[in-house]
Structure 1
Amino acid sequence: MNGPNSTNTPETPVSPRETGGFCRDCGADIPAADAAPTRRCPSCRSTRLARHPELDRLSIAHIDCDAFYAAIEKRDDPSLRDKPLIVGGGHRGVVSTCCYIARMSGVRSAMPMFKARKLCPEAVVVPPNMAKYREVGEQVRTLMLGLTPLVEPVSIDEAFLDLTGTERLHHMSPARALNRLALKIEREIGITVSIGLSHNKFLAKIASDLDKPRGLSVIGRAETLAFLAEKPVSLIWGVGKVMRERLEHDGIASIGRLQTMTEVDLARRYGKMGSHLFHLARGEDNRKVDPEGETKSISAETTFDTDIADLDDLSKELWPLCEKVSARLKHAELSGHVVHLKLKTAGFKLVSRQARLSTPTQLAESLYRTAEMLLKREADGTHFRLIGVGADDLYPAEDADPVDLADPNAERRRKVEQAIDEVRRKLGGKAIVKGRSLR
């Protein structure tokens, strides 16, 4: 772990009392030193040393599994260990993830498969196995919960943790407890993780990307402003391509430039986003780690092997996606008030449309009827390479699909879907299908 913000070397000189740390492999204490810091563990000779002036005073962490899907595939098939590996769809699909060997050739997540194959023709390509990945993700989550109940999942392979006040429980600092967790995940699950440790979620997330794979990186309070100053504005959460270009057009390319501006000035220029920029540019983030963090949306999508322009063919692809979203809503005990349709043209232009329902729904049929209505407006002969559907503005399950006196068939459709769900629970997902699936 090299660089001014890694756990090996503090950014500025500190007193000998503060320079102690620990070995990330054997856990041995690294003694404080008046001269140059020790580069190897005195016990096991490892170079993986955790050392930072604020190492034992920070408790907000972000844990991110390293190349998650690819790591699981390599774990389960040792013959893939030293080969470049891509997990993704067919020639027309995209890269779900890739191992670090493939990344050396320029392959990246979300890259079109044809481009990835061109960059790394020797790569082994395997299709994603989401059921297996979810199972491993739940195993990792269970181990996280052994450290603290304050675990906020971000996705299947990452989460925020708040270890404030856990020192007495674990008889060690949060940094040491997190490192012990990383070793346990490696030993018991067979994959690796990277850890970011800081004083808030924004900085912990940034830190977890600093030293992948198997990293433990720290951003302390004292170095926050200096660390952020040299970084591009795109590092700030919420600054996408359009906002970045707008800021750069206004002469604001670095976070350091934002740090010189007042909140009033930024709010005058960019509205609510201006205040957001002001605080995050200074490393100020008061969001709590929330184990009940709300799911913002539930969606599913598919990329076609060949472009599709015909409405009937597009509708046929839409139905199983609505069933997937419906099943996920029911599993999460949620319902959606807004249906979202996503299309990507053959030229990679993204088309996004949405419609608000009169009441929240969990039903695949209701999702499909609304999404198909949106689809009909866009199916004008344009060739599409991808279609997706999602449910947004989520409500509890008990708010879903109330009796609609204006639609006498609504209750019958709900009962039919409940019956289908019951058969599938007993006999499997393919035991019964609607005729629409057979078109």
Structure 2
Amino acid sequence: MPSLCRDCLHHAAQPFGRCPACGSRRTVTHPDLFHLTVAHVDCDAFYASVEKRDRPELLTKPVIVGGGKRGVVAAACYLARTRGVRSAMPMFKALAACPDAVVIKPEMAKYVREGRRIRALMEALTPLVQPLSIDEAVLDLTGTEALHGAPPSVVLARFARQVEKEVGVTVSIGLAANRLMAKLAAERDKPRGFAVIGADEAAGWLAPQPVSLLPGVGPAMAKRLQGAGFSTLGQLAALSPREAMQRFGEDGPSLAARARGEDDRPVNPDRETKSISAETTFEADIAAREALEAPLWRMCEKLARRLKEKDLAAAGVTLKLKTASFATRTRATRLPQPTRLPDVLFAAARPMLAKEADGTAFRLIGIGAQPLAPAAEADRGDLADPEAPKRAARWAAVEALRARFGDDAVVKGRGLKKGRSE
């Protein structure tokens, strides 16, 4: 049975526990170790890990990356996680669970920069890299053994060492026969993990697991499945396509197939971005429409900037609001023509905000672009809006000034309200 040492990369066709070359116990043994080619790579507590790298005095302390007391947790180191802190948890709950945590405001530009460094290292392994987020991607290393002079498992272990040495953070790797099982494998052995699940063992490994383990099965879906008598993935996997369709509609057959570990999705490096958004959580709840418009405008400016960075435009606008009781409200509208101008985004979102601002207190507001369109189609002007190109030129000039002198060099009046928290 093939084995691999993750520290010195010694590998052999025979099994070994402690590495015979360096003595390390960080070894992997699996019958398919040298044949599997689909990998899921996930950085460990990425934002928090980057902060600990930059501030070594925090290495032994619980660290939470997030907003103010009314924000949410963007990332938590594993020490904080042992205290019950989780991503997306409200900050007040996180601090109640871990009152001695060091809280650091997110520095997204730094995380994006480091994420791109890691992605470049991935792309040196294979052209088939599909980013899933700033710190997560799936890779297909089929046909790369001759190029690297080693099977994909060895190449991935070498990559993990390289990330630790050059970037200063750790990654967890899942190796399997398809994307679904690679993702589940990556979650088995965090942090700094390397787990392998072969095609022949996938269904058996999944069978006793709770239905909530399956990606895409959230709390509401899990409750629905359990109410129908399906608490484990094995119970779902036993359904025929027809039975699954009868019980759960069009998504039923796919659900049952995934419960068996089946997944035919290819790794697609050209996967399109489906939406771009920006949001902020307030330091204090806001109910008045006029008071909500100031942060909405700032989010429209931020969204416009992100659209430019991605070389995309908004063909539609989605407004997101979260109430003081954490209930989410969304409204959406299509635009007459694609845009990446903040004033057009704001003009589309403002009427939707007016309908929702009914006296309810809100803790968060956000704006999203969906669907997206090519940048070349944005703000070209027509008979109904001949001034669009001029507005686009003015916004470009504003952004140029901000790039040179800072974001506060040019600020619209509607963005000068107090209480900025983003």
Counterpart of 1:202 in structure 2 is: 180
1:28-39 to 2 correspondences below 5 Å: 28-30=10-12, 32=14, 38-39=16-17
Counterpart of 2:399 in structure 1 is: 421
Shift of 1:22: 1.4
Equivalent position to 2:323, from 335, 345, 348: 345
TM-score (norm 1): 0.92
Equivalent position to 1:267, from 240, 245, 259: 245
Equivalent position to 1:107, from 77, 85, 99: 85
Shift of 1:408: 4.1
SS across alignment from 2:117: helix
Q: Does 1:335 align with 2:313?
A: yes
> Deviations for 1:163-202, whole angstroms, at most 9, x for unmatched residues?
0000000000000000000000001111000001111111
Counterpart of 1:78 in structure 2 is: 56
2:380·2:388 contact (CA, 8 Å) conserved in 1? no
Equivalent position to 2:116, from 138, 155, 168: 138
1:30·1:42 contact (CA, 8 Å) conserved in 2? no
SS across alignment from 1:223: helix
1:23·1:30 contact (CA, 8 Å) conserved in 2? no
Report the AA paired with residue 167 of structure 1.
E
Q: Does 1:49 align with 2:27?
A: yes
Equivalent position to 2:271, from 293, 299, 302: 293
Report the AA paired with residue 274 of structure 1.
G
Q: Does 1:241 align with 2:223?
A: no
> Deviations for 1:359-406, whole angstroms, at most 9, x for unmatched residues?
222111111111111111011111111111110111211122232212
The 2-side partners of 1:126 and 1:419 are apart by 33
Q: Does 1:89 align with 2:71?
A: no
Counterpart of 2:3 in structure 1 is: 21
Counterpart of 2:375 in structure 1 is: 397
Shift of 1:241: 2.5
Shift of 1:333: 1.0
SS across alignment from 1:125: strand
Shift of 1:235: 2.4
Q: Aligned in 2, Cα 1:288/1:31: closer, same or farther, shift over 3 Å?
A: closer
Gap runs ≥5 in structure 2 = 418-422
1:147-296 to 2 correspondences below 5 Å: 147-296=125-274
The count of residues paired between Structure 1 and Structure 2 equals 417
> Deviations for 1:308-363, whole angstroms, at most 9, x for unmatched residues?
11111111011111111111111111112221111111111111111111222211
Report the AA paired with residue 11 of structure 2.
D
SS across alignment from 1:430: helix
1:186·1:192 contact (CA, 8 Å) conserved in 2? yes
The 1-side partners of 2:339 and 2:247 are apart by 39
2:2·2:33 contact (CA, 8 Å) conserved in 1? no
The 1-side partners of 2:19 and 2:12 are apart by 7
SS across alignment from 1:224: helix
Report the AA paired with residue 355 of structure 1.
T
Gap runs ≥5 in structure 1 = 1-18
Q: CA RMSD in A?
A: 1.4
1:404·1:411 contact (CA, 8 Å) conserved in 2? no
SS across alignment from 1:154: strand
Report the AA paired with residue 417 of structure 1.
W
The 2-side partners of 1:185 and 1:197 are apart by 17
SS across alignment from 2:307: helix
The 2-side partners of 1:426 and 1:302 are apart by 25
The 2-side partners of 1:168 and 1:234 are apart by 39
1:21·1:50 contact (CA, 8 Å) conserved in 2? yes
1:62-73 to 2 correspondences below 5 Å: 62-73=40-51
1:95·1:111 contact (CA, 8 Å) conserved in 2? yes
Shift of 1:428: 4.0
Counterpart of 2:353 in structure 1 is: 375
Shift of 1:419: 2.5
Tell me which moved more, 238-247 or 325-334: 238-247
> Deviations for 1:211-259, whole angstroms, at most 9, x for unmatched residues?
0011000110110110111122222232222222221111112110111
Identity %: 52
2:179·2:263 contact (CA, 8 Å) conserved in 1? yes
